[in-house]
A and B are shown apart, each in its own frame.
Chain A
Amino acid sequence: MKSPAVRRIWLLLVVAMSAVPSAHAHVGSKDVFEQVSAGPYNLFITIRPPNVIPGIATVEVQATGAAIETLQITPVPLTGEASKHPPTADTLKRSAADANFYTGGIWLMAPGSWQVRFTVEGAGGHQTTSVPVPAVAIATLKMQRDLGIPLAVLGLFLVLSMAGVVAAAVREGRLPPGAKATPALQRRGLIAMTVSLSVMAVMVYFGAKWWNVEAASYSEDIYKPLKVQPALNGDQLDLNIEFYKGRYKTRDRANNDLLPDHGHLMHLYAIREPQMDAVFHLHPELAAAGDFRMALPAMPPGEYKLYGDIVHANGFPETLVTTVEIPASKPASPLGADDATATPAPLSSGPLGTSYKLPDGYTMVWDKPSTLTATTAYSLHFRLLGPDGAPAKDMQPYMGMTGHAAFVKDDGTVFAHTHPEGSAAMAALDIANGGMGAMSGMTSAPTPPEVDFPYGFPTPGAYRIIIQMKHASTIETGVFDATVQ
């Protein structure tokens, strides 16, 4: 209908027009970066989900290892009936410039917990691997001026030309061939034009209303993490998670269906605002359905932003966000076995360097790329050195991994807790790859003193990076700053 177009476009011409950014699980960091092995094939996978669902996610793969003949992808829900019926797979396109770089796209037609299944054929035979992708709508788009103006002009033309056609139909439509319109007919033509313009104005009005209803209905589907209510009583932190009721039952998100990820139902990062000069990686325990509790360790007083990572039974990860005020007089409990903390210099004292001195004489080093640009996939490399400056020798896995990383933007719009395998939740990765035992990527064997984290910064700006590695029984937390262009 031309009506909604025209009406809405004229409205939009006088309203500021911009895309609305929003959050995602993690927070503001929707792209998935994953380093996976499928038999002898090593794939560095980047999946960039769309801003709207249904929409198209782009997939990029940088391959190493055995030679690949064909690489195919198909999107499948992570759990449920539809996970048994993969759609026809697509062959990824090999780059002309780099024979080991592949690109493609997948259509995600419903919000929820998805996986992209990769099938590799080549020198190493037939292999498959899957990467989980949470699909949620995170924004609706406003009408851009360069499209809005031509559409408005066309819409106006449609309205005026239709009025002209109606006038002509009434004035001349019934005249025998060759006859001329009488003044009475001319007058009726004018009346018809006026009436048709009025009718179309009403149609445009209701069309605009319809557009608004549709837009509002889409806006309702924009992802919002589960709400969490914090309460602090002495050193007891209580986090109450609310059940999310969607427009359809299939879009509900429960507060009592959580999967353990690295042995914990919640990984909670507490970061002191606004200077990000105290960071904690904590693990509250579930006391009742949707109710997490823990005794907090000693914390410098102030306002803390809390980022709580959870994973639902269908593999859908969420980062719950809230804040809590820590008073100066708060009693303190000892840190838990898997908990870690650091007190880096405040943001206002300038960016931290690539070498972070740890309290026990160890040093964590970031082999920082010379430039960092937004949305580019990086494998970010960190090393742990002993007090003698040599690579640390007594390395142990930290919650089953060589390391854990958190990327936090200084304005709080981005938070991503990732692992050496990548940014997908490990519990989801486990479901995607056929339940090869809880946390198949985890290890209890000694780990190397260096670690790579696949990640891409979603937007330009200043980020603080929190890296955790473990030697003997000490969990080290190194903190670094990055300015992303």
Chain B
Amino acid sequence: MSTSVGSIHPAGASGFSPAASQTESQTGVARRTAAVPWYIWFGVVAVTSASIGGAWDVSWHRSIGRDAFLTPAHLAIYACGVIAAIICGYLIFATTFGHSAKLKDVSVNVIGFRAPLGAFIAAWGGIAMLTSAPFDNWWHNAYGLDVKIISPPHTLLILGMRGVSAGVMFLILAAMNRAESAGDEHGHTVLRRVFLYLGGLMITGQMFFLFEYTWDVVLHTTAAYIAMGIGLPVAFAMISRASGHRWAATISASIYMGYTIAEILIFPLFPATPKLGPVFFPVTHLVPAKFPVLLVVPAVALDLLWQRTSRWGWKPWKVAIVSGVVFMALVFAVEWPFANFLMSKASENRFFGTIYFDYNSRPDGYDRLRQFFNPASGMVLATGLAMATLCSAISAWVGLRFGAWMKTVQR
């Protein structure tokens, strides 16, 4: 894994020194534009839009309840698919039918079409998203309107959104890796920042998918830790290995936590009332997400570990085992007591957000009573955590291997 702390420019996303001259600034802008093609910015906007749309949609369901095709939250999600369609359509057609040797040289061939690998992945995601729409609509007619996130059509939609996100990440990766190979340190740095930002959204997305397993009242079940063990080390390892950044896991975990805390601070500013029943809690404003899991702590530990293991030259399986243990030990050490705090009166404020409940949150339900659901202890807890640690190690191994492969992607 290459480390590149020295290549990070000291100021801002523009990637040039604030002390630089005007001429240098203009050159910097020109270089940045050259380093980051327009379709990557479009892709970043698409993924951001889907992330915001997803969080907004969940809040919409928890506060207002009533769904429609054209809610603002849905539009933000569809925008992701539309933008993906535009950039992928352009890249596939321009590369396949155009005359640009430069584009063709960095393309791959899928059933006769040529484009960068990321374009095909994002296109796949866009089609998956489109397919999920009629499937989901049928699902509502067959089994009722949604009361949960994880249903087969939603999984297809989320896979599609992840496909777009992964596609954009691959577009960045290929450009980033080529910049590195070509010795373009500046281009590499800017692209890596964009990549890490999407990495943060990837962690946010993983936690979004695990939302029902990591709700604060279930943080004393083993299922929460098994779910995080499966879903998170793979993402942290992948982002870290692929980006080659010393603090990749820390940065992406911080983005997840910042994003979620921002949601807690911002959403309740907007009035919203339930438009369907049963209403057990009279909601008056948009209900935000639960306080984020304190992932930054295990992420810092993973970064510190991986900085050292790359120097020590450990085999991936050995790194994976230690990573799994470190990750799970720290998630458990931090989140288990923090969950106690979240159940306490001390957390009942605008920041920790345990004052917000869904409109259909029953007064005798665990959430309203601030009580843990089915807390584990003794052997159940021990075996659950052992299972979670095993899952973490496997998850980390997959992430490390795939991340290492991603680091070499050129197209």
**Residues on A close to B: CB < 8 A?**
1-2, 4-5, 52-56, 74-77, 80-82, 85-88, 90, 106-110, 114, 137, 140-144, 147, 150-151, 154-155, 157-158, 161-162, 164-165, 167-169, 171-178, 207, 210-211, 214-215, 218
Query: Which of A76, A158, A211 is the most central at the interface, judged by chain B CB atoms within 10 Å of its CB?
Result: A158
Residue-wise interface mask of B (206-231) relative to A, using a CB-CB cutoff of 8 A (1 in contact, 0 not): 00000000000000000000000000
On whether the beta carbons of A1 and B156 are closer than 8 Å, the reply is: yes
Interface residues of B in 105-151 (CB under 8 A from A): 105-111, 117, 120-121, 124, 127-128, 130-131, 134-135, 138, 140-147, 151
Query: With an 8 A cutoff between CB atoms, is B363 at the interface?
Result: yes
On whether the beta carbons of B138 and A109 are closer than 8 Å, the reply is: no
The docked-state distance in angstroms from the alpha carbon of A446 to that of B226 is: 71
Q: Are A164 and B110 CB-contacts (below 8 A) given A82-B277, A158-B127, A177-B178?
A: yes
Query: With an 8 A cutoff between CB atoms, is B14 at the interface?
Result: no
Least Cβ–Cβ distance between B270 and chain A, in angstroms = 15
Residue-wise interface mask of B (253-277) relative to A, using a CB-CB cutoff of 8 A (1 in contact, 0 not): 0000000000000000000011111
Interchain CB contact (< 8 A) of B66 among A107, A154, A218: A107
Residues of A within 8 A of B337 (CB): none
Query: With an 8 A cutoff between CB atoms, is B378 at the interface?
Result: no
Query: With an 8 A cutoff between CB atoms, is B408 at the interface?
Result: yes
Least Cβ–Cβ distance between A67 and chain B, in angstroms = 28
The docked-state distance in angstroms from the alpha carbon of A184 to that of B111 is: 19
Question: At the interface, is chain A mostly helix, strand, loop or mixed?
Answer: mixed
On whether the beta carbons of A52 and B276 are closer than 8 Å, the reply is: no
Least Cβ–Cβ distance between A469 and chain B, in angstroms = 38
**Closest chain A residue to B142, Cβ basis:** A141
Residues of A within 8 A of B399 (CB): none
The docked-state distance in angstroms from the alpha carbon of A52 to that of B147 is: 13
The docked-state distance in angstroms from the alpha carbon of A174 to that of B174 is: 9
What are the 8 closest A-B residue pairs judged by CB atoms, nearest first?
A: A82-B278, A107-B276, A141-B142, A85-B279, A168-B108, A54-B145, A172-B108, A178-B105
Residues of A within 8 A of B405 (CB): 174
Residues of A within 8 A of B117 (CB): 165, 168-169, 172-173
Interface residues of B in 147-185 (CB under 8 A from A): 147, 151-153, 155-156, 159, 178, 181
Interchain CB contact (< 8 A) of B411 among A107, A167, A173: A173
Least Cβ–Cβ distance between A113 and chain B, in angstroms = 11
Q: Are A87 and B110 CB-contacts (below 8 A) given A76-B277, A107-B275?
A: no
Least Cβ–Cβ distance between A181 and chain B, in angstroms = 9
On whether the beta carbons of A154 and B138 are closer than 8 Å, the reply is: no
On whether the beta carbons of B145 and A107 are closer than 8 Å, the reply is: yes
On whether the beta carbons of A165 and B124 are closer than 8 Å, the reply is: yes
On whether the beta carbons of B128 and A2 are closer than 8 Å, the reply is: yes
Interchain CB contact (< 8 A) of A151 among B131, B159, B362, B363: B131
Residues of A within 8 A of B274 (CB): 85, 87-88
Q: List 26 A-B contacts (CB under 8 A).
A: A2-B156, A4-B152, A5-B131, A55-B144, A76-B278, A81-B363, A85-B278, A85-B279, A87-B273, A87-B274, A90-B275, A108-B277, A110-B278, A110-B360, A140-B142, A141-B138, A141-B142, A144-B138, A147-B134, A147-B138, A151-B134, A168-B120, A172-B109, A174-B409, A177-B178, A178-B105
Interchain CB contact (< 8 A) of B280 among A74, A85, A107: A85
**Residues on B close to A: CB < 8 A?**
65-66, 105-111, 117, 120-121, 124, 127-128, 130-131, 134-135, 138, 140-147, 151-153, 155-156, 159, 178, 181, 273-282, 359-360, 362-363, 405, 408-411
Residues of B within 8 A of A137 (CB): 144
Residues of A within 8 A of B280 (CB): 81-82, 85
On whether the beta carbons of B156 and A5 are closer than 8 Å, the reply is: yes
On whether the beta carbons of B131 and A1 are closer than 8 Å, the reply is: no
Least Cβ–Cβ distance between A131 and chain B, in angstroms = 15
The docked-state distance in angstroms from the alpha carbon of A172 to that of B411 is: 8
Query: Which of A107, A173, A175 is the most central at the interface, judged by chain B CB atoms within 10 Å of its CB?
Result: A173
The docked-state distance in angstroms from the alpha carbon of A172 to that of B120 is: 13
On whether the beta carbons of A161 and B110 are closer than 8 Å, the reply is: yes
Residues of A within 8 A of B147 (CB): 54, 109
Q: Are A85 and B282 CB-contacts (below 8 A) given A147-B134, A151-B135?
A: yes
Query: Which of B147, B279, B280, B410 is the most central at the interface, judged by chain A CB atoms within 10 Å of its CB?
Result: B279
**Closest chain B residue to A250, Cβ basis:** B362
On whether the beta carbons of A168 and B152 are closer than 8 Å, the reply is: no
Q: Are A88 and B151 CB-contacts (below 8 A) given A52-B144, A162-B124, A176-B181?
A: no
Residues of A within 8 A of B141 (CB): 52, 141
Residues of A within 8 A of B276 (CB): 75, 87, 106-109
On whether the beta carbons of B152 and A109 are closer than 8 Å, the reply is: no
Residues of A within 8 A of B279 (CB): 82, 85-87
Residues of B within 8 A of A76 (CB): 277-278
Residues of B within 8 A of A142 (CB): 142
The docked-state distance in angstroms from the alpha carbon of A88 to that of B283 is: 11
Residues of A within 8 A of B143 (CB): 52, 140-141, 214-215, 218
The docked-state distance in angstroms from the alpha carbon of A90 to that of B277 is: 13
On whether the beta carbons of A173 and B156 are closer than 8 Å, the reply is: no
Extra inter-chain contacts (5) besides given A158-B127, A162-B124, A207-B152, CB under 8 Å: A74-B277, A86-B279, A87-B275, A108-B277, A158-B124
On whether the beta carbons of A173 and B108 are closer than 8 Å, the reply is: yes
On whether the beta carbons of A143 and B138 are closer than 8 Å, the reply is: yes
On whether the beta carbons of A86 and B277 are closer than 8 Å, the reply is: yes
Residues of B within 8 A of A174 (CB): 405, 408-411
Least Cβ–Cβ distance between A124 and chain B, in angstroms = 27
The docked-state distance in angstroms from the alpha carbon of A155 to that of B127 is: 10
Residues of A within 8 A of B109 (CB): 168, 171-172
Least Cβ–Cβ distance between A87 and chain B, in angstroms = 4
